[in-house]
């Protein structure tokens, strides 16, 4: 069995597979990182009636759609499975049902076609996206600061090299996307709440409702959002008009952006020689958040690297790219690699 490719030599395009949460995704990248084909199937319709992701429904939907999605991207790329240079599948962290489906599907293909397999850590996928060729001229060099701002994760990470990640801070309670979703729900907005809240906030006055700014001014770069959510809940009885709702949404977003900027500033102070500040995760789509973080980056004379939204949210391009970075370094995983629902970045190695 050909498990270990020649160092630096990838025999053909790499298929990436992602099924760790509520997006089923597949992508084919050329060995140099050029995206040949990509597809994402969101499970929004399946989960919306429940107001959040239902793990069992997610797993069944991945099972129903992943094989066709993988076949579609291979056909679009004009690549037969036997011509691939490797398979990279998200193997954690995430919901165990989806992880088993994505990773087992990938391992099955690797076994059938005698291809190298890479068990990709989903967070490493987000972390390395900024290095995808063509995104930033000249590429982003190590080390850089990654702000991972999604529905499930909220962390400041020093990305020091492939497989070398130092978590500088993380949330003590809710992830920032979760805070958006929960606050939006309190305001009567549909799930997922982030985009809906941002839209509502456009017409609002961010200064009308004074909300707490959890962790602002404290040392370190941990986050906490549960107190903010409680303050939003306590403001709900004061909402009578559409303008009131817009004002509260704007206040919430304003505070979150201010807190993220404060934490990012401290995170930069906790690492040396950062070449860039990189943002990832669904909340990186938020304009107020982007503007606040761009200000911090500018004050530190660093570029803010914000990948296009389709690469900030869950996708398989980032999984295939992490696979390519690992294959280039001669790193593969055995076919008995077990998916890990919990898999902190700090436990990775290169």
Summarize as ranges the residues that interact with Zn ion (CB under 5 A): 150, 314
Using the contact rule CB under 6 A, the part of the chain among 186-194, 257-265, 297-305, 324-332 near ligand KG4 is 186-194
Q: Dihedral angle at the C-alpha atoms of 234, 186, 306, 277, nearest 10 degrees? A: 30
Q: Quick check: 85 binds ligand KG4 (CB under 6 A)?
A: no
Q: How far is the CB of 66 from ligand KG4 (least distance, A)?
A: 17
Q: 132: exposed, middle or buried (C-beta count within 10 Å: 0-12, 13-18, 19+)?
A: buried
Q: 157: exposed, middle or buried (C-beta count within 10 Å: 0-12, 13-18, 19+)?
A: buried
Selection from ligand KG4, Zn ion, none that 307 binds (CB < 5 to 8 A by kind) is: none
**Cα→Cα distances 144→8, 103, 158, 344, Å:** 23, 29, 6, 18
DSSP annotation of 78 reads T
CB 61 within 8 A of CB 45: no
String of contacts with ligand KG4 for each residue 235-274, x by CB under 6 A: ----------------------------------------
The residues, any chain, with a CB within 8 Å of residue 43's CB and separated by 6 or more, are: 22, 23, 24, 53, 57, 58, 61
DSSP letters, 155-198, are EEEEEEETTEEEEEEEBSSS-HHHHHHHHHHHTTPPSSHHHHHH
Interatomic CA distance for residues 295 and 325, integer angstroms: 31
Interatomic CA distance for residues 206 and 77, integer angstroms: 47
- The correct pick among 177, 206, 214, 339 for binding ligand KG4 (CB under 6 A) is 177
Q: 240: exposed, middle or buried (C-beta count within 10 Å: 0-12, 13-18, 19+)?
A: exposed
Q: How far is the CB of 253 from ligand KG4 (least distance, A)?
A: 8
Q: Quick check: 183 binds ligand KG4 (CB under 6 A)?
A: no
String of contacts with ligand KG4 for each residue 311-330, x by CB under 6 A: --xx----------------
Using the contact rule CB under 6 A, the part of the chain among 55-63, 164-172, 258-266, 275-283 near ligand KG4 is 275-283
Closest residue to Zn ion, Cβ-based?
Answer: 314
- The correct pick among 194, 204, 214, 323 for binding ligand KG4 (CB under 6 A) is 194
Using the contact rule CB under 6 A, the part of the chain among 145-153, 208-216, 244-252, 292-300 near ligand KG4 is 145-153
Q: Quick check: 129 binds ligand KG4 (CB under 6 A)?
A: no
CB 99 within 8 A of CB 48: no
Interatomic CA distance for residues 294 and 304, integer angstroms: 6
Q: How far is the CB of 150 from ligand KG4 (least distance, A)?
A: 3
- The correct pick among 86, 97, 143, 151 for binding ligand KG4 (CB under 6 A) is 151
Interatomic CA distance for residues 280 and 225, integer angstroms: 19
- The correct pick among 105, 117, 165, 180 for binding ligand KG4 (CB under 6 A) is 180
Q: Quick check: 150 binds ligand KG4 (CB under 6 A)?
A: yes
Question: What is the end-to-end Cα distance of the chain in Å, rounded?
Answer: 22
String of contacts with ligand KG4 for each residue 5-44, x by CB under 6 A: ----------------x-----------------------
Question: Of the two residues 86 and 125, which places its CB atom closer to Zn ion in the complex?
Answer: 125
Question: Of the two residues 116 and 192, which places its CB atom closer to ligand KG4 in the complex?
Answer: 192
Q: Which residues pair with 171 in a beta bridge?
A: 223
Q: Quick check: 116 binds ligand KG4 (CB under 6 A)?
A: no
Which stretches of the chain bind ligand KG4, using CB under 6 A? 21, 150-152, 177, 180-181, 192-195, 198, 281-283, 285-286, 313-314
């Amino acid at each position: 069995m050909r498990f270990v490719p020649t160092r630096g030599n990838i025999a053909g395009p790499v298929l990436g597979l992602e099924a760790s949460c509520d997006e089923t995704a597949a992508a084919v990248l050329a060995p140099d990182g050029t995206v040949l084909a990509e597809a994402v199937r969101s499970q929004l319709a399946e989960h919306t009636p429940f107001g959040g992701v239902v793990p069992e429904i997610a797993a069944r939907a991945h099972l129903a759609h992943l094989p066709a999605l993988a076949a579609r991207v291979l056909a679009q790329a004009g690549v037969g499975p036997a011509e691939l240079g490797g398979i990279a599948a998200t193997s954690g962290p995430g919901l165990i049902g989806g992880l088993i489906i994505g990773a087992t599907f990938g391992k099955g293909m690797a076994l059938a076609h005698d291809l190298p397999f890479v068990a990709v850590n989903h967070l490493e996928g987000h972390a390395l996206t900024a290095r995808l060729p063509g995104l930033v001229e000249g590429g982003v060099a190590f080390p850089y600061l990654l702000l991972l701002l999604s529905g499930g994760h909220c962390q400041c990470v020093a990305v020091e090299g492939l497989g070398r990640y130092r978590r500088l801070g993380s949330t003590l309670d809710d992830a920032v996307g979760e805070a958006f979703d929960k606050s939006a729900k309190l305001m009567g907005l549909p799930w997922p709440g982030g985009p809906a809240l941002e839209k509502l906030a456009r017409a609002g006055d961010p200064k009308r409702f004074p909300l707490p700014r959890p962790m602002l001014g404290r040392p370190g770069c941990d986050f906490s959002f549960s107190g903010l959510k409680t303050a939003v809940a306590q403001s709900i009885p004061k909402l009578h008009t559409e303008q009131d709702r817009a004002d509260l949404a704007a206040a919430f977003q304003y505070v979150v952006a201010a807190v993220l900027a404060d934490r990012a500033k401290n995170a930069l102070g906790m690492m040396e020689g950062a070449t860039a500040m990189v943002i990832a995760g669904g909340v990186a789509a938020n304009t107020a958040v982007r503007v606040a973080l761009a200000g911090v980056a500018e004050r530190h004379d660093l570029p803010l690297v914000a990948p296009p939204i389709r690469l900030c949210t869950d996708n398989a391009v980032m999984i295939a790219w992490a696979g390519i970075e690992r294959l280039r370094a001669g790193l593969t995983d055995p076919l008995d690699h077990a998916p890990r629902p919990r898999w902190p970045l700090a436990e990775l190695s290169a």
